[in-house]
């Protein structure tokens, strides 16, 4: 499975350049995109037939957040980071209002104590993202975990998730930094905030060809159809439509 104009030798050279460039303090993203585009068929075939560890070893540039976001945009023409910011931010206040999650009080204290209007909107978005699974009565542990409070996923379910580190008093919204994990492997530590981490998780699902786990399927389907607008929402299950109506009415 090779791309037009490429052979085994040229692919090895592209992979060498990608590896060397990724290891630099300030990688040339345009060079990486150019090389990755030249081996698109080879790359996608490799990803579909190898483990997470092997994929990251072969294509270390997937550890760069901007490369993950670029790859999904290249495939789908969807800017996942911007879609989350523009679409989910509008729904965030209502999500906080209708949520019955036990985490709500912890989140409310953080949001209500903020007096900066712009920062407060960002906090509302972060809280809404963490509350989404509970809104659909699904398992939030399949989306995020607080370091030191891991929830165990079935061993045969490769589930991308964000690990929130350095959380003060165990509050997920009071993190120091975020790591996106898959199969026990750290994919990237470049998430600037929870909304970006969510975008990178969605990129990982699509780019690594991972099926949505049963315990998070409604949440991820909502994000794919309503937030990212990658599929027609007309055929959504009734349960998802009801939640959508409750936060967009």
Number of domains in the chain: 2
Residue 3 lies in a domain: no
Residue 135 lies in a domain: yes
User: Given 63, 93, 109, which residue is the final one in a domain?
Assistant: 63
Shared-domain flag, residues 110 and 208: yes
Residue 71 lies in a domain: no
pLDDT at 156: 47
Residue 239 lies in a domain: yes
Mapped onto helix, strand or coil, the DSSP state of residue 240 is helix
Shared-domain flag, residues 20 and 58: yes
**Contact predicate 22/32, CB 8 Å:** yes
Shared-domain flag, residues 169 and 232: yes
Shared-domain flag, residues 159 and 43: no
Shared-domain flag, residues 121 and 233: yes
pLDDT at 233: 80
* Residues near 3 by beta carbon (within 8 Å), at least 6 away in sequence: 38, 39, 40, 41, 42
Expressed as residue numbers, the domain containing 182 is: 80-248
pLDDT at 1: 72
CA distances from 130 to 94, 143, 154 (A): 14, 8, 21
Q: What is the pTM of this model?
A: 0.92
Shared-domain flag, residues 148 and 189: yes
Shared-domain flag, residues 138 and 200: yes
Shared-domain flag, residues 36 and 155: no
pLDDT at 155: 46
CB atoms within 10 A of CB 117: 7
Residue 212 lies in a domain: yes
Residue 75 lies in a domain: no
pLDDT at 184: 85
Residue 142 lies in a domain: yes
| Regions of the chain with pLDDT less than 70 | 149-157, 249
C-alpha 18/C-alpha 117 separation (Å) is 42
Residue 143 lies in a domain: yes
């Amino acid at each position: 499975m090779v791309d037009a104009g490429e052979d085994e030798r040229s692919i090895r050279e592209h992979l060498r350049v990608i590896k060397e460039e990724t290891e630099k303090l300030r990688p040339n993203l345009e060079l990486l995109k150019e090389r990755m585009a030249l081996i698109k068929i080879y790359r996608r075939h490799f990803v579909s037939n190898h483990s997470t560890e092997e994929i990251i070893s072969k294509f270390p540039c997937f550890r760069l957040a901007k490369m993950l976001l670029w790859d999904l945009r290249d495939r789908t023409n969807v800017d996942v980071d911007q879609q989350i910011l523009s679409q989910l931010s509008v729904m965030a206040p209502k999500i906080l209002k209708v949520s019955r999650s036990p985490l709500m009080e912890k989140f409310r204290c953080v949001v209500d104590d903020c007096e900066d209007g712009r920062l407060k909107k960002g906090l509302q978005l972060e809280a809404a993202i963490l509350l989404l699974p509970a809104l659909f009565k699904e398992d939030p542990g399949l989306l995020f975990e607080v370091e030191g409070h891991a929830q165990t996923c079935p061993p045969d379910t490769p589930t991308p998730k964000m690990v929130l580190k350095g959380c003060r008093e165990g509050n997920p919204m009071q993190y120091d930094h975020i790591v996106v994990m898959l199969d026990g492997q750290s994919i990237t530590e470049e998430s600037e905030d929870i909304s970006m981490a969510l975008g990178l998780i969605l990129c990982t699902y699509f780019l690594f060809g991972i099926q949505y786990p049963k315990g998070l399927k409604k949440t991820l389907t909502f994000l794919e159809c309503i937030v990212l607008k990658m599929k027609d929402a007309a055929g959504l299950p009734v349960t998802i439509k009801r939640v959508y109506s409750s936060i967009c009415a």
